[in-house]
Structure 1
Amino acid sequence: MQLQAVDYQSPTAQEEFVESLRETGFGVLKNHPITQATVTRIYDSWQTFFDGEEKNNYLYNKGTQDGFFPQSVSEVAKGFTKKDIKEYFHFYPWGQCPPALRPQLADYYAQANTLAQELLGWIEAQSPTEVSKHYSEPLSNMIKDSDQTLLRVLHYPPLQGNEEADAIRAAAHEDINLITILPSANEPGLQVQAKDGSWIDVPCDFGNLIVNIGDMLQEASGHYFPSTTHRVVNPDGADMTKSRISLPLFLHPRPDVLLSERHTAHSYLQERLKELGVI
């Protein structure tokens, strides 16, 4: 199995993209509305931020989870004991952010949210009636006016060669939210797990946009759309000396949105954050 990039501007894009999500939990788009220049400027600005000391002035707020998370508090994936080799910044429009960097992120956040609403519309349009009848409201409406959608600026620092055994940049995990939108990072490493357990490299051509299903959409669709396990592996050789920046946008519904008979978006998120030890 291979993941193929779908041309956003193709007349069959909607069908091809949603079929890929259905089969693998992942879809890759090319020729989409978010420009490569926009993403490159963010990567460059935030590489400077992570390389400096200013980041320590924006340490995260435990209650609201906005701000800078140093490597010392990096996530431990469910089922793992080693921290991921990464540091990151959580951006919400209402949260803290260096003033010089806020306009870039706010602009990208708005653009990516607009695209996400369209893609959720595609997913709903391609959902069989027996699946879509369980959606409590249109999928694209679930994220409307949500202040929970999170833009994470991730920095995977160069590897020193003395990392803990079995520690990798991002251990195998699934996302919690509805869908995640991710421009290709400046370095490869993202892999998705196939149904047979093997690992497949996600196409990382710079300019591609990667979209994956999260647990909340899996829940809302009665598992019709799979929240697929993925990871970021450590590079080999010369690539060890390079940082890796990535920019996932985690699309979260409003807390009151009913995902299923057993969960609202709020109750589902709280359950998962407790499992991860975040709260």
Structure 2
Amino acid sequence: MNRIPSVNLQDFLSEDANRKQKFIDEIGKAYEEIGFVALKGHFLDDQLVDNLYSEVKNFFDLPVETKRSYEIEGIGGQRGYISFGKESAKGKKEGDLKEFWHFGQYVEDDPERAKEYPENVTVNELAQFNKIGKETYQMLEKTAKYVLRALALYLNLEETYFDNYIHNGNSILRPIHYPPILEEPENAVRAAAHGDINLITLLMGAQGRGLQVQNNAGEWIDAMAEPDELMINVGDMLSRHTNNKLKSTIHRVVNPPRELWGTSRYSIPFFMHPISEMKLDVLESCIDEDNPKQFDNITAGEFLNERLIELGLKK
């Protein structure tokens, strides 16, 4: 496969059983073969997207010392600002050429769950930054819920199987700034080859070249979305839960050609995480003689903690 398949969420949301099944079959097949789709018909409108990019650029344009005042020690980078070069891919010592921000869950109906998560960090200099971040977070979470409903049906589970696991889940919205490259990078790229930790990732900002996906033949292919599409991929938690039936595909963000080194790149992934106590044990329906169980039992919280340590975000 040398291109990312495109699907439309409105097919799944329609009253037409054939259109709904078509979406389920298309997204399931794509996730078995390459682990990525480009999704139209999501819940983000153009104005919200424009407002978000404007606020994100305003934040990253703030002085470095101002941004660093929002870097919170002791929470593994789960909220607020994470400075340039601090995160590295699993098994790689060089830091990625990026800085980013984390918005987390907005728990409103569960005081015990709210205590589990760090509080979101308010940027005092930008009146709209947090409001627009929250609105985007909630629209992406809503989109992700319906994608997971389709995948539940594809896996012969009850349609709302994932709903209680993702309600108040530990999801993260991450606006990323890849600054202009000022000198020859020493063995570093904007984001080194990696798989995502979570259930699924919804990515805004894959319209420009840079994001690449490794197909089953080991070839790197460009993952380009249309302006109205989100790029959505399977993460390691979902791959593990399905015994690797749905593929968590290795991907990277490569450095641009030298003539474009002077430009910034922005992308905004939403990492859909479940609540920490969700069991990621391999689904019985994904085990058979040809596909024996590949993974040990583990909870989502335990798995996340292991990976944050591997990424250098937690000690």
Q: TM-score, normalised by structure 1?
A: 0.91
Are 1:111 and 2:139 counterparts? yes
Provide Cα deviations, 1:99-144, integer angstroms capped at 9, x if missing partner.
52111010111111111111100001011x4xx49x9x81233111
Alpha-carbon offset, residue 187 of structure 1: 3.2
Which residue is equivalent to 1:263? 298
Name structure 2 gaps, 5 residues minimum: 12-18, 107-118, 282-295
Instruction: Report 1:168-247 matches (<5 A).
Output: 168-185=189-206, 187-247=208-268
Native 8 Å contact 2:211 2:253 kept in 1: yes
Is the CA contact 1:28–1:209 (under 8 Å) kept in the aligned structure 2?
A: yes
Q: Distance in 2 between matches of 1:204 and 1:188?
A: 10
Residue 163 of structure 2 corresponds to 140
Please tell me whether Structure 1 or Structure 2 has the larger radius of gyration of its CA atoms.
2
* SS of equivalent residue, structure 1 residue 181: strand
Matched residue, 2:173: 151
Shift of 1:186: 5.8
Q: What is the rounded CA distance, in whole Å, between the counterparts of 1:14 and 1:37 in structure 2? A: 29
Q: How many residue pairs are counted as aligned between the two chains?
A: 271
Q: 1:27 aligns with which of 28, 32, 37?
A: 37
Give, as a single letter, the amino acid of the residue that structure 2 aligns with 1:150.
Answer: I
Counterparts of 1:72 and 1:230, CA distance in 2: 18
Runs (4+) off by over 3 Å: none
- After superposition, the Cα gap between the structure-2 partners of 1:173 and 1:241, relative to the gap in structure 1 and judged at 3 Å, is same
Provide the rounded CA distance (Å) in 2 between the counterparts of 1:28 and 1:186: 11
Question: What per-residue deviation string (whole Å, max 9, x for no partner) do you get for residues 54-103 of structure 1?
Answer: 32221133226211111142x11112221100000111243113152111
Point out the more displaced range, 18-27 or 61-70: 61-70
More moved, 218-227 vs 55-64? 55-64
Which secondary structure state, in structure 2, belongs to the residue aligned with residue 46 of structure 1?
A: helix
Distance 1:232 1:221 in 2: 26
The alignment-based identity, stated in percent, is 35
Q: Secondary structure at the match of 2:231?
A: strand
After superposition, give the CA deviation of every residue in 1:132-173 in whole Å (9 maximum; x if it has no partner).
49x9x8123311122x1111110001111x143221000000
RMSD (CA atoms): 2.0
Structure 1 residue 36: Cα displacement: 2.7
User: Mind listing any 5+ residue stretches in structure 1 that lack a counterpart?
Assistant: none
Given that 1:186 and 1:244 are in contact with CA atoms closer than 8 Å, whether structure 2 keeps it comes out as no
Give the structure-2-normalised TM-score.
Answer: 0.81
C-alpha contact (below 8 Å) 1:5/1:203 kept by paired residues: no
Kept in 1: contact 2:205–2:266 (CA 8 A) = no
Do the aligned partners of 2:277 and 2:301 also contact (CA within 8 Å) in 1? yes
What is the DSSP-based 3-state SS (H/G/I as helix, E as strand, rest coil) of the residue aligned with 1:71?
Answer: coil
Pair 142,20 (structure 1): closer, same or farther in 2 beyond 3 Å: same
